[in-house]
Amino acid sequence: MSTVIRLTRRGRMHAPFYRIGVFDSRTRRDGAAIENLGYYNPLAKGEVVRLELNTERAKYWLSVGAEPSETVASFLKEKEVEYNRSTARSAKNKKRSVKRIAAEKKSGKIHGKAKRKQRATAKAAK
């Protein structure tokens, strides 16, 4: 099950109010949340709180693999919650590329970048 941290709209027409929640990625926009982490009120003025976020729970969900939407990622940055999507992805990509290279060596075939590099070298040699 892939989880995402995203907004769900509440409030009335022309007066939006959003809840920040953890959802299964297949759930519709206003579907049931696994857990609500806070809220965002874009129309807040004065003393009213614009953004409320349970950072401890957000850190937990990020640690177990939940992906934040772009908007929620900006909220996390605003609340100074450490989240670096690129490191998680780069570790996954590196693991996959090591596996692919091992398979290429085993089969004796050349694929991907190595194949393009070989073609470029052959063209340059002509």
Per-residue pLDDT of the chain (126 residues; tens, 9 = 90+): 689 999 999 999 999 999 999 999 898 888 899 999 999 999 999 888 999 999 999 999 998 888 999 999 999 988 888 876 655 566 677 788 888 778 877 777 766 677 778 788 888 887
Q: Are residues 96 and 72 in the same domain?
A: no
pLDDT of residue 41: 94
pLDDT of residue 1: 64
β-pairing, 67-68 with 51-53?
A: unpaired
37-46: list long-range contacts, CB under 8 Å, 24+ apart. 37/5, 37/61, 40/7, 40/75, 41/17, 42/16, 42/18, 43/15, 43/16, 43/17
Contact in structure between 79 and 53 (CB atoms under 8 Å)? yes
Q: Say yes or no: 51 and 68 in one domain.
A: yes
Statement to judge: residues 56 and 101 lie in one domain: no
Q: What confidence score (pLDDT) does residue 18 get?
A: 95
- Asked if residue 110 and residue 48 are part of one domain, the reply reads no
Residue 88 has a pLDDT of 59
Looking at residue 72, its pLDDT comes to 92
**Cβ(19)–Cβ(8) below 8 Å:** yes
Asked whether residue 9 falls in the same domain as residue 34, the answer is yes
Select from 52, 21, 43 the least CA-distant residue to 34.
Answer: 21
pLDDT of residue 101: 77
Q: Identify the three-state secondary structure at position 7.
A: strand
Say if residue 113 is in the same domain as residue 65.
no
